[in-house]
Amino acid sequence: MGGRLARVVAPVLVLLLAGGRASAVWPMPQRLTEAPGPSTALSPGRFRLRYAAASAVQPGCSVLDQAFARYLRLLFGPARPAEAGEDQANDSTLTVFVVNPGCDGFPSLNSLESYTLILSEDQFSLKAEEVWGALRGLETFSQLVWRSAEGTYFVNKTEIVDFPRFPHRGLLLDTSRHYLPLTSILETLDVMAYNKFNVFHWHIVDDPSFPFESVSFPELSRKGAYNSATHVYTPEDVKIVIEYARLRGIRVLAEFDTPGHTLSWGQGAPGLLTPCYVGPAPSGTYGPVNPILNSTYEFMAKLFSEISSVFPDFYLHLGGDEVDFTCWRSNPDIRYFMEEVGFGQDFTKLESLYIQKLLSIVSSYGKGYVVWQEVFDNGVKVKGDTVVHVWRENAGSYRKELERVTNASYRALLSAPWYLNRIGYGQDWVEAYKVEPLQFEGTPEQKALVIGGEACMWGEYVDATNLTPRLWPRAGAVAERLWSSKDVTDIQSAYLRLADFRCELLRRGVQAQPLYTGFCKQEFFGP
């Protein structure tokens, strides 16, 4: 059982016990060069993070001011600052130079995250086009610093030129099937930043519960949440999440999935859902959103007006997946409507009618949208800038779906092989790591339309008790696949670095599960 893996684990222990970390950056940078020669010692009380004099952003930039403080704590803990008036001639300083101004905005799909990091005898410098790249560079620097057995901090002479392979690198959390407290979401955002993820896909509501506290329709959460006092996200909670994410260079992509997955909406919005029938009589149960009523679209217009103002990202995720037509088919009013408009028995046309009206509503608020692949599969007329999210996994069929989506000139996101809620005994991160997002038949122009992907953590069996260890470090496999060069594929090398990174996560207080047998010194000796 342990033959091949044991041969992999042995050098991991040597790496960890030796204390060296210089080549263990996760995800792997595009280009990393280590120079020979002695490492440079860092004194926690005398190390500085500073803006370069010519940088387009200076002190007062909230993103970098907070990042400087955050990374000094991550590196050294509550280390002693230099005493006032103390000789600072021997201070070590990482100077940060940002080419373009801008600190108060939000990251977007077009944000630049490239950076250059030079650690030499003459200089410690970090250069980035935008503050978002500076954040990624600070994370890389923090992983390059290592601590000897005697407690001295070192960094090796290193030069890194780095940028992401894909602009959309996301992680989905489902907060409907189990409510996740704010602390769990914020911790997840922290670890996303450590992995250079840049999109938090917030699947905030679904059939089981409606925890989003709407100002326009307060009854939705009062009657649809598990507990309207304890299991809701207030407007202030949502603002906290969005700002916390912004300061880490992470977009918040909110998903409100309709017309299916909406049972929790029903009690707070009477008349919104379709009454199901058994024969000629109502059954007392309800199906998807009722697509034949004007009141449905009036409701959606008001709700999505609020959603569009609350969530600043250009994109909203509108779902559109897994619509069960059974209830629509049973309802006599809907059957009559189908006959009147000439849809016959093709309920995909009815679904398309609803989706197209919803997309028009959302577009009127100046928003773009992401939809699950069924919207494309069912032939809904969507805008050219629509992003199609590929999630169905049947013997690699997602590759054919990517081919079809991009052949129709739509941009695509991939999640099908990265459903991390599915777990198995052993190192299932390896299968996620082996995925090549562009391994499908298509032209270079088609492949350029794949803007990235997302790891998904659906919540049927996940809540705050097991979210963190189930996510990390497994989600790191997806993070590296979406950030690093397509040529970074060596499993043994990845194992060494990911095992080391997992130990670093433990040092940072993240309860990441082990990859295999072994130990981390942080388990016993603290940071």
Tell me the two tokens of residue 254.
């909110």
What's the Rg (C-alpha) of the chain? Answer: 25
Contact 477, 436 (CB under 8 A): no
User: What residue has token string 């077009």?
Assistant: 110
CA separation (Å) from 159 to 27, 119, 143, 162, 355?
16, 6, 14, 10, 50
pLDDT for 434 equals 97
Count the residues in the chain. Answer: 527
Helix H or strand E encompassing 337? helix 332-341
What's the pLDDT score for residue 278?
95
Task: Let me know the angle formed at the C-alpha of 375 by 443 and 264, rounded to the nearest 5 degrees.
Answer: 140
Cα angle for residues 396, 399, 403 (degrees, 5° grid): 155
Residue bearing tokens 């979401």: 185
Q: Which residues in the chain land under pLDDT 70? A: 1-23, 79-90, 395-396, 524-527
In order of 202, 230, 516, the CA distances from 450 in angstroms are 21, 39, 33
Rounded to the nearest 10 degrees, how much is the dihedral formed by the CA atoms of 420, 424, 430, 436? -50
Asked if 25 contacts 142 with a C-beta cutoff of 8 angstroms, the reply is: no
pLDDT in tens, 213-222: 999 999 999 9
Q: For residue range 57-86, list pLDDT tens digits in order.
A: 999 999 999 999 999 999 998 754 543 334
Edge-first strand order for the sheet with 40-42 is 40-42, 153-155, 146-147
Q: How far apart are CA 135 and CA 188, in angstroms?
A: 17
- In this prediction, residue 23 carries a pLDDT of 57
Where does 182-253 have alpha helices with state H?
Answer: 182-194, 219-224, 235-246
CB-CB contact of 17 with 148 (8 Å) = no
SS3 131: helix
pLDDT of residue 154: 95
Distance CA 174, CA 188 (A): 12
Instruction: Determine contact, residues 523/509, Cβ cutoff 8 Å.
Output: no
Give the pLDDT of residue 18. Answer: 38
The reported pLDDT for the residue numbered 91 is 76
Query: What is the model's pLDDT at position 410?
Result: 98
Q: What is the pLDDT of residue 522?
A: 80
Residues with a catalytic annotation lie at 322
String of DSSP letters for 133-196: HHHHHHHHHHHH-EE-TTS-EEE--EEEEE--S-SEEEEEEE-SSS---HHHHHHHHHHHHHTT
For position 224, what pLDDT does the model report?
98
